[in-house]
Amino acid sequence: MASQVALIIKRKQVEEDRLRLHGQLLHADRLATIGMLAAGIAHELNEPLGNILGFAQLAEKCPGIPAAARQDIEKIENASLHARDIIRKLLIFARQRPPEKKRVNLNKVVNEGLLLFESRCEKAGVQIVRSLAPDLPEIPGDPAQLNQVLVNLVVNALQSIEGAGKITIETRFCGRYVHLIVQDTGTGMSEEVLRRIFIPFFTTKDVRQGTGLGLPVVHGIVTSHGGSINVDSKSGYGTRFKILLPVDQPQNTAEDI
Report the pLDDT averaged over residues 22-51: 61
Please indicate, yes or no, whether residues 48 and 160 belong to a single structural domain of this protein.
no
Q: How many domains does the chain have?
A: 2
Residue 252: pLDDT band with limits 50, 70, 90: very low
Specify the CATH number for the domain of residue 110: 3.30.565.10
* In-domain check, residue 138: yes
Q: Where a domain ends, among 93, 121, 155?
A: 93
* In-domain check, residue 254: no
Report the pLDDT averaged over residues 13-28: 56
Report the pLDDT averaged over residues 79-108: 74
Whether 241 shows a pLDDT value over 90: the answer reads yes
Please indicate, yes or no, whether residues 40 and 163 belong to a single structural domain of this protein.
no
Please indicate, yes or no, whether residues 89 and 113 belong to a single structural domain of this protein.
no
Please indicate, yes or no, whether residues 143 and 163 belong to a single structural domain of this protein.
yes
* In-domain check, residue 256: no
Report the pLDDT averaged over residues 34-40: 60
Report the pLDDT averaged over residues 55-65: 82
Instruction: State the pLDDT at residue 36.
Output: 60
Please indicate, yes or no, whether residues 224 and 108 belong to a single structural domain of this protein.
yes
Please indicate whether residue 169 or residue 20 has the higher confidence score (pLDDT).
Answer: 169
Instruction: State the pLDDT at residue 254.
Output: 39
Lowest mean pLDDT among 24-28, 37-41, 175-179: 24-28
Specify the CATH number for the domain of residue 66: 1.10.287.130
Instruction: State the pLDDT at residue 243.
Output: 95
* In-domain check, residue 253: no
Instruction: State the pLDDT at residue 7.
Output: 67
Q: Where a domain ends, among 93, 122, 144?
A: 93
Residue 61: pLDDT band with limits 50, 70, 90: confident
Please indicate whether residue 197 or residue 22 has the higher confidence score (pLDDT).
Answer: 197
Report the pLDDT averaged over residues 4-27: 61
| Domain carrying residue 154 | 102-246
- How does the average pLDDT of the chain come out, rounded? 78
With helix as H, strand as E and coil as C, how does the chain read?
CHHHHHHHHHHHHHHHHHHHHHHHHHHHHHHHHHHHHHHHHHHHHHHHHHHHHHHHHHHHCCCCCCHHHHHHHHHHHHHHHHHHHHHHHHHHHCCCCCCCCEEECHHHHHHHHHCCCHHHHHHHCEEEEEECCCCCCCEEECHHHHHHHHHHHHHHHHHHCCCCEEEEEEEEEECCEEEEEEEECCCCCCHHHHCCCCCCCCCCCCHHHCCCCHHHHHHHHHHHCCCEEEEEECCCCCEEEEEEEECCCCCCCCCCC
Indicate yes or no: pTM above 0.75: no
Whether 40 shows a pLDDT value over 70: the answer reads no
Report the pLDDT averaged over residues 102-121: 88
Please indicate, yes or no, whether residues 49 and 150 belong to a single structural domain of this protein.
no
Q: Where a domain ends, among 64, 93, 122?
A: 93
Residue 253: pLDDT band with limits 50, 70, 90: very low
Please indicate, yes or no, whether residues 72 and 125 belong to a single structural domain of this protein.
no
Instruction: State the pLDDT at residue 19.
Output: 57
Lowest mean pLDDT among 92-96, 189-193, 245-249: 92-96
The most confident of the ranges 82-86, 142-146, 168-172 is: 168-172
Please indicate, yes or no, whether residues 241 and 173 belong to a single structural domain of this protein.
yes
Please indicate, yes or no, whether residues 42 and 110 belong to a single structural domain of this protein.
no
Please indicate whether residue 33 or residue 198 has the higher confidence score (pLDDT).
Answer: 198
